[in-house]
């Protein structure tokens, strides 16, 4: 395929999604939920076809020497497909955000003003390895009245092609446009670039994946982007703290799952908490297999316990390890902790562990992140944990949506103003 | 100044604004309102200085042969400065959006979740001729806890420099950082480009001005942008309509003020309303000095009344005349009107004039614009008319804010989650 052909194909795919979005926008909840159930049923009915396509991707990945953990993420099984189907049925059970009246009032002149939620239109999702994102994203887009324009990883192209074919057939059979779910054609990096320039056809792009992918989309896209995912989360242990609670929250934030954006990557300890907390904290972390990257005070405290901590460099404060590593620093004050977070953090989630109401209030007011936890694990920043029922990603930007994005975050609004011949004086 | 120097200066200005935004973010309402009153008082106290600087801009503009209407927009008078001061005092009287709890609930596990409004941080405004925007924008940014990074027109550089100096002194005297209000240094087009690349220092850019300015910012900025202003608004006269109401709304939408984005630029008439409405509509418009650009049916109907309508070309359907011109087309159905609007419109404001509830409902559901008016003038899409008390612009994009933007639209949110040692299972 030539570069020109590919650009034409991507824009044509976007145009078809745009057309479908026009039909989806005014739909009531019932036909959308029916389509979601049809999609779930079809995934289960056509399991063999999906697994066969996935086997091709897996064989190709193995032949290319892809690491085992990535092959695992790529691999579909009957149980994983059943989970996808369950996700679609769960989406059907959620309230429809479209049509919600966000604000409504009558002006002194009698004009009735309502601000009503409407779909965004075409939502472009750019994502890596895991094929379950194909189904999750398609379902959440459809539930919120948006057409889904999906650009998955080339390593999962056969799987995604099969999944989208199944979903499209089901959507069409239920009476909605097949183009409610469109896979961006082509496996080259160029197809992502064409997508990023499809302003007017694509209403928003949501990149889900590694930092490099997200950075390049943010830098190059003329389509509005919602930045997701990067997470250098901090746990700050305050001067006045409950040591057992601090240890428990630290361990959970760092080790409950390391490969996720809401895992803690840095521990900050108030100087006055060093004596009471730090030995317990170091012992618990090394006991859980965590490697410490510490400043001088931390390296010394670890040595006293017979533990070897790696001296931290400037890079450690920025690091998103996504592994059993943590950077540890002693700070002179809560404000110094806030300054550290502001300088090195990614504005995702920070936690304070404190018994002081004043400290909690000051930390919450001054930390500029999507989520601030008081005496709770950073791992709670999650659409599921927040009770949203679904999550399309975690926004780390400030415009439109910040933090876990549920169905309402996949909508825009429209002002509807009703008069009786009103004109402006 | 060399290009490198200018880039350094712009980034340094952004850095100072960012620093100030950190101090502004946690402020309660009272100190912000006090600063706004101090700013208003200072404008009045230092009127002579402001008018002298403005006289330089005006003299320069006249020497350059600037058209009289633009010179008028640039010119400050005691009364215009008093209006600016009044605007600041009005902003002080508005509720503070910061700290508003948008959503709040307790999860089954006892975690308390609150989504709280917080400032965006640094708001960059790029605007043309009118120096009053300098004061309005600075005031609304400060009220909403944001630092204002202002990049006005080079033609108003002396005026803006004087105004910002006065505002900064007042802000500082009231105990807030002077850098809460920063004028971007340099008058070259390049300084806008540096601003557009200051991602991480500038949280959002709002271009206010002509279509070319807005397009170039949207295309080139890596800082998130809120698109404002373009308006090709439509009035659709339905098959079932109140002719007198339709004439009144059309006239008001088109002629009450022509140079604004919420003025109507196109009239669509249902074929079944042609006989009853069109002659009255044509007569009213030509009586108000409006030039018609019509399709064949319109040209013929005008000819019967002895009025010469200009045959419309494809360009007329796209046109934002901002003048006493209107494009007029007869359509076969409401859906054809919606299709026309979708194809040629700018998604700002569209009005339907109808006596039919079904038609109103269908038009509202299918028109994808920031505002949809039923039996009311397009001119009502305005923060002041909507009762917001202030307006930073009218967003025509779908992300973050759509339609008139008041103070809440100048904020982001933050999740605050309070536990008692909660960890994830």
DSSP secondary structure of A104-126: EEE-TTS-EEEEEEEE-SEEEEE
DSSP for residue B223: S
Can you tell me the ipTM of this complex? 0.94
Whether A408 and A374 share a structural domain:
no
* Contact B199/A at CB under 8 A: yes
pLDDT of residue B209: 79
Whether A9 and A126 share a structural domain:
yes
Q: What is the pLDDT along chain B (425 residues), one digit of tens a residue?
A: 566 688 889 999 999 999 999 999 999 999 999 999 999 999 999 999 999 999 999 999 999 999 998 899 899 999 999 999 999 999 999 999 999 999 999 999 999 999 999 999 999 999 987 899 999 999 999 999 999 999 999 899 999 999 999 999 999 999 999 999 999 987 777 888 999 999 889 999 999 877 788 888 888 888 999 988 788 999 999 999 999 999 999 999 999 999 889 999 999 999 999 999 999 999 999 999 999 999 999 999 999 999 999 999 999 999 999 999 999 999 999 999 999 999 999 999 999 999 999 999 999 999 999 999 999 999 999 999 999 988 999 999 999 999 999 999 999 999 999 999 999 99
Looking up residue A377, the CATH number of its domain turns out to be 3.40.309.10
Looking up residue B116, the CATH number of its domain turns out to be 3.40.605.10
Give whole-number Cα distances, B307 to A303, B279, B283, B285, B302, in Å: 95, 10, 8, 11, 5
Is B245 part of any domain?
A: yes
The strand pairing partners of A126, in sequence order, are A151, A207
- As given in the structure block, the two tokens for residue A61 are 């990945």
Whether A149 and A20 share a structural domain:
yes
Rounded CA gap, A115 and A73, in Å? 42
- How near does any CA of chain A get to the CA of B259, in Å? 15
Whether B269 and B137 share a structural domain:
no
- How near does any CA of chain B get to the CA of A262, in Å? 12
A413/B419 touch (CB, cutoff 8 Å), yes or no:
no
Return the C-alpha torsion angle B348, B351, B357, B363, nearest 10: -40
Residue A279 pLDDT > 80:
yes
Return the C-alpha torsion angle B98, B102, B108, B110, nearest 10: 10
Whether A372 and A261 share a structural domain:
yes
Rounded CA gap, B46 and A256, in Å? 61
Whether B270 and B339 share a structural domain:
yes
Whether B187 and B242 share a structural domain:
no
Is A424 part of any domain?
A: no
B380/A218 touch (CB, cutoff 8 Å), yes or no:
no
Whether B285 and B412 share a structural domain:
no
Is A52 part of any domain?
A: yes
Whose structure tokens read 């239109």? Answer: A121
- Name the A residues in 115-134 with CB < 8 Å from any B CB: 115, 118, 120-121
Residue of A nearest to B115 (CA): A371
- As given in the structure block, the two tokens for residue B169 are 């002194």
Whether A315 and A220 share a structural domain:
no
B386/A413 touch (CB, cutoff 8 Å), yes or no:
no
Out of B251, B380, B415, closest to residue A370 by CB = B415
Q: What is the CA radius of gyration of chain A?
A: 24
Partners of A248 on chain B (C-beta within 8 Å) are 421, 423
Q: What angle do CA B403, B405, B410 make, to 5 degrees?
A: 140
pLDDT of residue B180: 98
Residue A212 pLDDT > 90:
no
Whose structure tokens read 């299972």? Answer: B425
Whether B247 and B205 share a structural domain:
no
Whether B170 and B130 share a structural domain:
yes
Partners of A405 on chain B (C-beta within 8 Å) are none
Domain that holds residue B308: 233-385
Domain count, chain B: 2
Out of A242, A414, A421, closest to residue B402 by CB = A414
pLDDT of residue B3: 65
Is A390 part of any domain?
A: no
* B114 burial via Cβ count (<10 Å: 0-12, 13-18, 19+): middle
Strands (E), B13-169: 101-106, 112-119, 122-127, 147-151
- As given in the structure block, the two tokens for residue A212 are 């490099």
* Residues contacting residue A129 through CB under 8 Å, at least 6 positions apart: A70, A73, A74, A153, A155, A156
Residue of B nearest to A357 (CA): B418
């Amino acid at each position: 395929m030539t570069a020109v052909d590919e650009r034409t194909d991507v824009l044509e795919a976007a145009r078809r999604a745009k057309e479908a979005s026009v039909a989806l926008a005014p739909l009531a909840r019932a036909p959308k939920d029916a389509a979601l159930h049809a999609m779930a049923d079809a995934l289960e009915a056509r399991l063999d076809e999906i697994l066969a396509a996935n086997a091709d991707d897996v064989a190709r990945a193995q032949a290319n020497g892809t690491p085992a953990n990535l092959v695992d993420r790529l691999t579909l099984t009957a149980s994983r497909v059943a989970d996808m189907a369950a996700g679609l049925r769960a989406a059907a059970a959620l309230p429809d955000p479209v049509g919600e009246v966000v604000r409504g009032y009558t002006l002194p002149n009698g004009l009735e003003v309502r601000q009503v939620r409407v779909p965004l239109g075409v939502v472009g999702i750019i994502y890596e390895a895991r094929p379950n994102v194909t189904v999750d994203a398609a379902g959440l887009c459809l539930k919120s009245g948006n057409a889904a324009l999906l650009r998955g990883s080339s390593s999962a192209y056969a799987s995604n092609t099969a999944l989208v074919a199944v979903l499209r057939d089901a959507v069409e059979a239920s009476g909605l446009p097949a183009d409610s779910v469109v896979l961006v054609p082509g496996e080259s990096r160029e197809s992502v670039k064409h997508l990023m320039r499809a302003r007017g056809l694509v209403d928003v792009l949501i990149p889900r994946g590694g930092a490099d992918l997200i950075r390049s989309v943010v830098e190059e896209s003329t389509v509005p982007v919602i930045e997701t995912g990067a997470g250098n989360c901090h746990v700050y242990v305050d001067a006045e703290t409950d040591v057992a609670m601090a240890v428990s929250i630290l361990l959970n934030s760092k080790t409950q799952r390391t490969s996720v954006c809401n895992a803690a990557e840095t521990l900050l300890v108030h100087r006055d908490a060093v004596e009471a907390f730090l030995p317990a904290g170091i012992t618990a972390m090394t006991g859980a297999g965590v490697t410490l990257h510490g400043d001088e005070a931390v390296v010394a405290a670890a040595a006293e316990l017979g533990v070897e901590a790696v001296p931290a460099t400037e890079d450690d404060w920025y690091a998103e390890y996504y592994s059993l590593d943590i950077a540890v620093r002693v700070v002179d004050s809560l404000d110094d902790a806030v300054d550290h977070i502001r300088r090195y953090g990614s504005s995702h989630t920070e936690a304070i562990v404190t018994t002081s109401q004043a400290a909690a209030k000051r930390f919450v007011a001054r930390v500029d992140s999507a989520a601030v936890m008081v005496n709770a694990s950073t791992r709670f920043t999650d659409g599921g944990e927040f009770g949203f029922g679904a999550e399309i990603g975690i926004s780390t930007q400030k415009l439109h949506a910040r933090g876990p994005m549920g169905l309402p975050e996949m909508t825009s609004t429209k002002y509807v103003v009703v008069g009786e011949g009103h004109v402006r004086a």
